[in-house]
């Protein structure tokens, strides 16, 4: 059974960097049969996919256009986890952030989710 455990601060100041980590158990971040995603949800923006990383002989990354200039998703094979960094945050980045494992033909079905982390951007 795959489990995803999120960690990271719940409060970030404007203009600073939001950093979250998703620890994986029951699978490997380097697997060839999944993709590892970050998604957020807020009342104003609904559910919003942010990006993903996956390994197919080399590492690949896909990012949402809305955050592409500010986001980095990194795998950490030594700790079997992956992370989210979102730079230059504003109050509009306040949301519940989730990590998720993608399955299906192109790995766009999110079968396993982390517990969610409420991140508030405020001074």
Partner 1 sequence: QSALTQPASVSGSPGQSITISCTGTSSDVGAYDSVSWYQQYPGKAPKLKIYDVSSRPSGISNRFSGSKSGNTASLTISGLQAEDEADYYCSSYTSSSILVFGTGTKVTVL
Q: Which residues bind to partner 1, rule: CB under 8 A?
A: 46-49, 62-65, 98, 103-106, 108-111, 113-116
Shortest reach from residue 121's CB to partner 1, in Å: 21
Shortest reach from residue 94's CB to partner 1, in Å: 17
Shortest reach from residue 14's CB to partner 1, in Å: 26
Nearer to partner 1, 16 or 113 (CB): 113
Nearer to partner 1, 8 or 16 (CB): 8
Pairing type for strands 81-86 and 18-25 reads: antiparallel
Nearer to partner 1, 55 or 98 (CB): 98
Q: Identify the three-state secondary structure at position 59.
A: strand
List the 71-76 sheet strands across, edge first: 3-7, 18-25, 81-86, 71-76
Q: Identify the three-state secondary structure at position 15.
A: coil
Residues 6 or more apart whose Cβ sits within 8 Å of residue 56? 32
Residues 6 or more apart whose Cβ sits within 8 Å of residue 44? 92
Nearer to partner 1, 13 or 61 (CB): 61
Shortest reach from residue 36's CB to partner 1, in Å: 13
């Amino acid at each position: 059974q795959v489990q995803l455990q999120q960690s990271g601060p719940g409060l970030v100041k404007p203009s600073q960097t939001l950093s979250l980590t998703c620890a994986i158990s029951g699978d490997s971040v380097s697997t060839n049969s999944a993709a590892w995603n970050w998604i957020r949800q807020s009342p104003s923006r609904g559910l919003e996919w942010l990006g993903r990383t996956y390994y197919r002989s080399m590492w690949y990354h896909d990012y949402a256009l809305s955050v592409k200039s500010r986001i980095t998703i990194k795998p950490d094979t030594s700790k079997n986890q992956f992370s989210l960094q979102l730079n230059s945050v504003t109050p509009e980045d306040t949301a519940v952030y989730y990590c998720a494992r993608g399955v299906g033909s192109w790995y766009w079905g999110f079968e396993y989710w982390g517990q969610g982390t409420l991140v508030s951007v405020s001074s």
